[in-house]
Amino acid sequence: MSSKSNNGINRRAFIEITSKTAVGMGLVSLPLVTSSCIDTNTTKTTHGACYHDCPDRCSWKVTTANNKVINFEAGQDSYTAGKLCNKMERFPDDVTYHPDRILTPLKRKGLKGAGEFEKISWEEAIAEVASKLQDIIDKKGGEAILPYSFGGNQGKVQSQFPNRFFAHIGASQLERTICGDTAVEGVLAANGQTTGILPEDCVHSRFIILWGTNPVTSNQHLWPYIQKAKSNGATIVVVDPFKSATAEKADWHIQPSPGTDSALALGLMHVIFKENLQDQDYIDRYTVGVEELKKHVQAYDPKSVAQITGLEAETIISLAKSYAQSSPALIRVLIGMEHQVNGASAFRAVAMLPALTGAWRQFGGGLMHMTYELFGASLNWESITLPAALTNQQTRSINMIELGKALTSKDLSPGIDALFVFNSNPVVTTPNQNLTLKGLGRDNLLTIVSEHFITDTARYADYVFPATSVLENWDILDSWGSTYININEPAIEPLGESKTNSELFRLLAREMGFTESYLYESDIDIVKKTLQSDHEYLKGITFESLRKTGGQRLNLPEKWMPHVTGNFKTKTKKCHFYDEDIEPNLPTYIPREYNKADREKYPLHLLTLKTPKYLLNSSHGNVDHILKKEGQPYVEIHPKDAASRNIADGDELKI
Ligand X SMILES: Nc1nc2c(c(=O)[nH]1)N[C@H]1C(S)=C(S)[C@@H](COP(=O)(O)OP(=O)(O)OC[C@H]3O[C@@H](n4cnc5c(=O)[nH]c(N)nc54)[C@H](O)[C@@H]3O)O[C@H]1N2
CB of 331 closer than 8 Å to CB of 211: yes
Q: Count the residues in the chain.
A: 655
Secondary structure E strands in 354-401: 366-368, 397-399
Q: Across the chain, how many H-helices and E-strands are there?
A: 24, 21
The site for ligand SF4, by CB under 6 A, has a size of: 13
Q: Closer to Mo ion at the Cβ: 213 or 342?
A: 213
| Interface with ligand X (CB under 6 A), residue from 17, 19, 21, 53 | 53
Provide the minimum distance between the beta carbon of 454 and ligand X in the complex, in angstroms, as a whole number: 10
Q: Closer to ligand SF4 at the Cβ: 323 or 480?
A: 480
Provide the minimum distance between the beta carbon of 626 and ligand SF4 in the complex, in angstroms, as a whole number: 13
Q: Closer to ligand X at the Cβ: 541 or 609?
A: 609
Instruction: Measure the CA–CA gap between 70 and 367, rounded to whole angstroms.
Output: 42
Q: Closer to Mo ion at the Cβ: 1 or 606?
A: 606
**Sequence letter at residue 331:** I
Picked from ligand SF4, ligand X, Mo ion, none, the partner binding residue 610 (CB below 5 to 8 A depending on kind) is ligand X
Q: Closer to ligand SF4 at the Cβ: 418 or 477?
A: 477
Q: Which of 289, 216, 221 is nearest to 246 (CA)?
A: 216
Instruction: Measure the CA–CA gap between 440 and 499, rounded to whole angstroms.
Output: 25
Picked from Mo ion, ligand X, ligand SF4, none, the partner binding residue 342 (CB below 5 to 8 A depending on kind) is none
CB of 296 closer than 8 Å to CB of 586: yes
Q: Does 95 bind ligand SF4 (CB under 6 A)?
A: no
Residues 31-50 that bind ligand SF4 (CB under 6 A): 50
Q: Does 454 bind ligand SF4 (CB under 6 A)?
A: no
Q: Closer to ligand X at the Cβ: 342 or 362?
A: 342
Instruction: Measure the CA–CA gap between 25 and 651, rounded to whole angstroms.
Output: 26
| Interface with ligand SF4 (CB under 6 A), residue from 9, 15, 17, 88 | 88
Peptide bond connecting 414 to the previous residue in cis, omega within 30 degrees of 0:
yes
Provide the minimum distance between the beta carbon of 60 and ligand SF4 in the complex, in angstroms, as a whole number: 8
Provide the minimum distance between the beta carbon of 245 and Mo ion in the complex, in angstroms, as a whole number: 18
Picked from Mo ion, ligand SF4, ligand X, none, the partner binding residue 57 (CB below 5 to 8 A depending on kind) is ligand SF4
Q: Does 57 bind ligand SF4 (CB under 6 A)?
A: yes
CB of 219 closer than 8 Å to CB of 481: yes
Residues 404-423 that bind ligand X (CB under 6 A): 422-423
Instruction: Measure the CA–CA gap between 616 and 18, rounded to whole angstroms.
Output: 12
Applying CB under 6 A, the span of 26-34, 85-93, 199-207, 253-261 interacting with ligand SF4 comes to 85-93
| Interface with ligand X (CB under 6 A), residue from 304, 530, 570, 619 | 619
Provide the minimum distance between the beta carbon of 212 and ligand X in the complex, in angstroms, as a whole number: 3
CB of 383 closer than 8 Å to CB of 159: no
Rounded to the nearest 10°, the torsion over CA 417, 420, 425, 428 is -10
Q: Which of 120, 118, 98, 108 is nearest to 459 (CA)?
A: 108
Picked from ligand X, ligand SF4, Mo ion, none, the partner binding residue 193 (CB below 5 to 8 A depending on kind) is none
Provide the minimum distance between the beta carbon of 449 and ligand SF4 in the complex, in angstroms, as a whole number: 23
Peptide bond connecting 466 to the previous residue in cis, omega within 30 degrees of 0:
no
| Interface with ligand SF4 (CB under 6 A), residue from 17, 54, 288, 335 | 54
Q: Closer to Mo ion at the Cβ: 179 or 454?
A: 179
Q: Which of 210, 150, 209 is nearest to 180 (CA)?
A: 150
Rounded to the nearest 10°, the torsion over CA 28, 29, 35, 41 is 140
**Sequence letter at residue 157:** V
CB of 588 closer than 8 Å to CB of 345: yes
CB of 441 closer than 8 Å to CB of 460: yes
Q: Does 334 bind ligand SF4 (CB under 6 A)?
A: no
Picked from Mo ion, ligand X, ligand SF4, none, the partner binding residue 18 (CB below 5 to 8 A depending on kind) is none
Instruction: Measure the CA–CA gap between 246 and 239, rounded to whole angstroms.
Output: 10
Q: Closer to ligand SF4 at the Cβ: 73 or 521?
A: 73
107 strand-pairing partners? 118, 463
Q: Does 11 bind ligand SF4 (CB under 6 A)?
A: no
Residues 121-140 that bind ligand SF4 (CB under 6 A): none
Residues 599-618 that bind ligand X (CB under 6 A): 607-610, 612-613, 615-618
Instruction: Measure the CA–CA gap between 26 and 567, rounded to whole angstroms.
Output: 57
Provide the minimum distance between the beta carbon of 56 and ligand SF4 in the complex, in angstroms, as a whole number: 4
Q: Does 84 bind ligand SF4 (CB under 6 A)?
A: yes
Q: Which of 454, 500, 497, 507 is nearest to 621 (CA)?
A: 454
Q: Closer to ligand SF4 at the Cβ: 55 or 366?
A: 55
H or E element at residue 506: helix 501-511
Q: What would the DSSP string read from start to end of 26-39?
A: ---PPPSS--S---
| Interface with ligand X (CB under 6 A), residue from 48, 75, 212, 289 | 212
**Sequence letter at residue 55:** P
Q: Does 610 bind ligand SF4 (CB under 6 A)?
A: no
CB of 270 closer than 8 Å to CB of 297: yes
Q: Does 450 bind ligand X (CB under 6 A)?
A: yes
| Interface with ligand X (CB under 6 A), residue from 6, 7, 14, 331 | 14
Q: Does 587 bind ligand X (CB under 6 A)?
A: no
Q: Does 239 bind ligand X (CB under 6 A)?
A: yes
Helix (H, G, I), strand (E, B) or coil at 47: strand
Q: Kindly report the number of other CB atoms within 10 A of residue 566's CB atom.
A: 17
Picked from ligand X, Mo ion, ligand SF4, none, the partner binding residue 195 (CB below 5 to 8 A depending on kind) is none
Provide the minimum distance between the beta carbon of 74 and ligand SF4 in the complex, in angstroms, as a whole number: 8
| Sign for the pseudo-dihedral over CA of 420, 426, 431, 432 | positive
Residues 316-375 that bind ligand X (CB under 6 A): 334-337, 339-340
Q: Per-residue x/- mask for ligand SF4, residues 206 to 245, rule CB under 6 A?
A: --------------xx------------------------
The site for ligand X, by CB under 6 A, has a size of: 58
Q: Per-residue x/- mask for ligand X, residues 424 to 443, rule CB under 6 A?
A: xxx-xx--------------
Q: Kindly report the number of other CB atoms within 10 A of residue 315's CB atom.
A: 18
Q: Does 6 bind ligand X (CB under 6 A)?
A: no
| Phi and psi at residue 149, to the nearest 5° | -145, 155
Instruction: Measure the CA–CA gap between 518 and 503, rounded to whole angstroms.
Output: 13
62 strand-pairing partners? 46, 72
Q: By beta-carbon distance, which residue lies closest to Mo ion?
A: 179
Q: Given the DSSP bridges, would you call strands 106-108 and 117-119 parallel, antiparallel or unpaired?
A: antiparallel
Contact positions toward Mo ion, by CB under 5 A? 179
| Phi and psi at residue 86, to the nearest 5° | -55, -25
Q: Which of 433, 465, 436 is nearest to 449 (CA)?
A: 465
Residues 525-564 that bind ligand SF4 (CB under 6 A): none
Residues that bind ligand X (CB under 6 A): 12-14, 53-54, 150-153, 158, 178-179, 211-214, 217-219, 239-242, 244, 258-259, 261, 334-337, 339-340, 422-426, 428-429, 450-453, 455, 467, 501, 607-610, 612-613, 615-619
Residues that bind ligand SF4 (CB under 6 A): 50, 52, 54, 56-58, 84-85, 87-88, 220-221, 616
